[in-house]
Amino acid sequence: MTAVYIDALPVDGSSNHLNPTPAWPIYAPVIITPEVVPSYDLAGGLASISNPDLSAPVTVPFVSVPILSGPVVLSVVAAGVLGAATLFTSIGLPVLVLPTVYTSVTVPSYDLASLVSAVSEPVIPAPTLFTANAGTSETPPYPLTHARILYDNLLLTSTVTSTAGTTPNYTLIPNTYQSWLFTGNQSIYFELADNEDIDTICVSAHNLIGCTVEAAYDDDLVGLYTVFGVAKVVTQNKPLMFHIGTSVNARRLRVSVTGSGSRQVGSIYAGIALQMQRPFFSGFDRFGDSTTYSTPMTAGGNIIAREAIRKGYSNTFSFKHLSAGWVETYLTPFLLKAKTTPFVLAWNLDAYPDDVWFGATDSDINPTFMGIRDLYSVEWSMMSHGSV
């Protein structure tokens, strides 16, 4: 049983208190029931709340004493070598720029709103009627990029004289084998039976390289001569063509040669040149050397000699999209004349004024219908005079 202390005062009124504080009256005794000791199993768990049943004591095995290794002698750690102390310099204070006083930004002034008026509609002019570009005319003149062909020589019935030299009449013969021969500065004159319209003068089959050649005309028999076209400085032995845009009415013609040495002129033409309706759209082969060579050889295959037995030029001229009306009016007379007479041809006096050819065809020239509207094409080959 557990003793319970109570706080009580002595009945004798003395001051000896068993427990001076706290002081309260004694109430009726309370029966204290014994406290039940819980029982535990061997594993230590709570078994029940009934009276304990103490089991026999359990023998606790002893713990083996661990084997301790012998003590290790610690070597002395060598002290590190310390470098000499570095003297640190003080860091200079940065120089601070004085603060800048910022002035206030002026508030921009705005104009009062304006009343926008309506935009008027633009004035659109009435449409213009475009007309189609006119095709190539059937009537000359045509640009100088179109070929010029002089085939009708109006000098054939003229009277020929010269300042010097021999056989000036040979200039009227188109065979080029016979020539007017002269030396130095000389002139040749042609007096027509009547006045003729002329826009082209050609000097062919010559050896006038290095000379200056000038053509001139006179509209009567007593006046002064007027220069025809521009004088030419000769750089090659190809024909010379003097062509002007508007024909002149001439009664006399003069061709003057300024130079030195022995010279010859084999043919001179004058008249109205045929102006081809179309140009050479794809250009023209300007180089057409045609030389026939003779190379005799021995029976053993050895070359004895090399000789040019015939020289000249060979060219092909082709024109397309020629209208039927133009062919009938302008081309047909040339086709008939070309059957018997050599002619002079310049393929592009604008870009190549010195590319002029004098020769004849080796067959008839026949236009061919292209199958497009009333358009024709024409092509011919030409053997030209020249010393290649």
Q: Which amino acid is residue 371, in one-letter code?
A: G
What is residue 105's predicted lDDT score, i.e. its pLDDT?
A: 77
What is residue 102's predicted lDDT score, i.e. its pLDDT?
A: 72
Pick the CATH number of 148-384 from 2.40.30.170, 2.60.120.260, 2.60.40.10, 3.40.50.1100: 2.60.120.260
What is residue 239's predicted lDDT score, i.e. its pLDDT?
A: 94
Could you give the 3-state DSSP secondary structure of residue 38? coil
Diameter over CA atoms, the chain: 200
Local mean pLDDT, 10-residue blocks, the chain (388 residues): 48 50 60 62 50 60 66 73 73 76 78 78 82 76 96 96 97 91 97 97 95 97 95 94 96 98 96 96 63 79 77 82 96 96 95 92 93 94 71
d(CA 118, CA 120): 6
Rounded to two decimals, what is the model's pTM? 0.63
What is residue 94's predicted lDDT score, i.e. its pLDDT?
A: 74
Q: State the CB neighbour count (10 A cutoff) for residue 248.
A: 15
| Spans of all domains in the chain | 148-384
What is residue 5's predicted lDDT score, i.e. its pLDDT?
A: 46
- Cβ-count burial 136-175 (b if 16+ within 10 Å, e if not): eeeeeebebebbbbbbbbbbeebebebeebeebebbbebe
Instruction: Write the CB contacts of 291 (distance below 8 Å, at least 6 apart in sequence).
Output: 308, 310, 311, 312, 388
DSSP 289-335: B--EEE--B-TTS-B---EEEE--EEEEEEEEEEEHHHIIIIIHHHH
